[in-house]
Structure 1
Amino acid sequence: MITVGDSKIKEALIAAHNLQTVLSPALVAALRLGRIEAGECLVTQSDGFTHLFFLVQGKLQVENYDVNGRHIVFSFETDFSVIGDLELFCQTQRVMFSTVQALTDALLFTLPADVVKTQAMHDPVFLSFMCRQLSNKLLNASLLHAHGGLTAEYKLRKLLLFKMKNEGALIRLENRELLAGRLGISVRQLSRALAQLEVDGIIQFKNKSLQVMDNQRLSECKMRSPY
């Protein structure tokens, strides 16, 4: 990782992701901005846990090898995302659970784990922020590994309902390839599900912006459909 020393870029990225609202002044002061290139590993599975990483630009792949040597891709992370949140709350071991590799050039803030432990573990604002990050990952994992009987529309509805809790009725979506991968469906299935919800008057969407028009009908999830 190459250190980025431009204070204006650092300040702009902090403001863009509202980090000053969830991190204390001491934590903000401890942030260091770094850049990694596409193909570079940020951390390797079983490395010692030394830092939290805040992905503020770019795309990462999180992968793992189990005890039998099988390779599993857990997720694709785009900004904004926290790397190391699971490890922070693990009391039994202090190592990274996964290998994280850059799929594109990426910018990340680093925050020393020892600073977090001494400055933030009793801070309710920081802990609430971390809980939101963990809940997003839990949702992603549950959607990815959900039973095959769950339809594309059902998964999409569940994701939109979850996003509404944090973002309100106006939701910003990632690109369709990433979103489809997150839901464990094809881009074609995702496009058909979005189109059907719009035809039904439940949502309106254009490019990456989606407006929920009927929350009640959105919550009426059906387990099976033609998708």
Structure 2
Amino acid sequence: MKKIINNDILMHYFIKHDIEKILDKDIINYSKLHFYKKNEFILEAESELEYYFLLVDGKIKISYLFENGKSMLLKFYSDFISIGDLELLRNKPIQCNVEAIEDSYLIAIPSEILRKKYIDNVDFLHYLVNSLSEKLEATINNSSYNYVYPLINRLASYLVEHITDKKHIMIDSSFKEIAQFLGTTYRHLGRTIKELELQDIIKCDNKIIYILDEDKLRELSKNMYIKVL
């Protein structure tokens, strides 16, 4: 991790993400900009929440760590999002590992400052409620979908969520990470991609997936889209 000592860059992100609507303008006096390289841990499970983070640029993944040492990938985040909502409110150790999967910038705010000065701030509390609600909804949606539907439907849903106007998808995560996210193995994912290719629904060319038949893909997705957030 590297601390970026540049108030102009910090202010740029404050303005870009309208952070003053969540916390008043004085919070910038307590905030620092942290830079994390790809594959670097931002938070580790069971440690104390020293900083409350706001992802302002980059991409991260959240994984839940089990007692047997295994982990389950929960989500990817690539847009503005807060990290540490639950731990901040309950003042308990961090529950998940948070890792940068590409170079990422996060605004770090000391958790004790937030607990002492902002825990009764109506705008901040409103943001926390909305943030937790959205994360809970996405988790329930994804977990239920992974449990009920076969992989071909889950993969179709994942692809539909990423379709662009140009009818192709640039895969910016590894296929191993996508397999974890969809609750399957790398090999099973590969077989399912081949199955969709044989049906002329998609064509996979390295890290680009071309959508050949969007109607069939949407039909397979069951209109239940895997939320990456």
In structure 1, the residue matched to 2:9 is 9
Selected match of 1:133 from 131, 135, 142? 131
* Amino acid in structure 2 at the alignment position of 1:96: I
Q: What is the Cα deviation at residue 51 of structure 1?
A: 1.1
Check 1:126–1:73 CA distance in 2 against 1; reply closer, same or farther (3 A cut).
Answer: same
Shift of 1:184: 4.2
SS of equivalent residue, structure 2 residue 102: coil
Checking the alignment, whether the CA contact within 8 Å between 1:59 and 1:103 is kept in structure 2 is yes
Q: Deviations over 1:161-193 (max 9, x none)?
A: xxxxxxxxxxxxxx77579x599498979997x
Identify unmatched segments of 5+ residues in structure 1. Answer: 160-174, 200-220
Q: How does 1:75-94 map to 2 (within 5 A)?
A: 75-91=75-91, 94=92
Are the aligned partners of 2:58 and 2:104 in contact in 1 as well (CA < 8 Å)?
A: yes
Q: What CA distance in whole angstroms lies between the structure 2 residues aligned with 1:53 and 1:87?
A: 11
1:58 paired with 2:58, answer yes
Kept in 2, the 8 Å contact 1:143–1:184? The answer is: no
CA contact (8 A) 1:40 1:101 kept: yes
CA contact (8 A) 1:84 1:96 kept: yes
> SS of 1:45's equivalent?
coil
How far is 1:73 from its partner?
1.1
Give the distance between the partners of 1:222 and 1:98, measured in 2 at CA: 29
Structure 1 outlier segments of 4+, above 3 Å: 149-156, 175-179, 181-192, 194-197
- 8 A Cα contact 2:74 2:181, kept in partner: no
Q: Contact 1:65–1:72 at 8 Å: present in 2 too?
A: yes
The alignment partner of 2:72 has SS state of strand
Query: Could you tell me the TM-score, scaled by structure 1's length?
Result: 0.67
Structure-2-length-normalised TM-score: 0.66
Match of residue 24 from structure 1: 24
SS at match of 1:105: strand
Q: Deviations over 1:170-220 (max 9, x none)?
A: xxxxx77579x599498979997x9449x9xxxxxxxxxxxxxxxxxxxxx
Superposed CA offset, 1:91-115 (max 9, x none): 5xx2111111111111000000111
- Identical aligned pairs, as a percentage? 19
Once the two structures are superposed, residues 12-47 of structure 1 have per-residue CA deviations (whole angstroms, 9 ceiling, x without a partner) of 111111101111123232111111111111121111
Alignment check: 8 A CA contact 1:34 1:107 kept: yes
Residue 165 (structure 2) aligns with: none
Report the more deviating stretch, 103-112 or 67-76.
Answer: 67-76
Matched residue type, 1:67: E
Partner of 2:114: 116
1:126/1:108 CA distance change after superposition, 3 Å: same
Q: What is the letter of the counterpart of residue 83 of structure 2?
A: I
**Root-mean-square deviation over aligned CA pairs:** 3.6
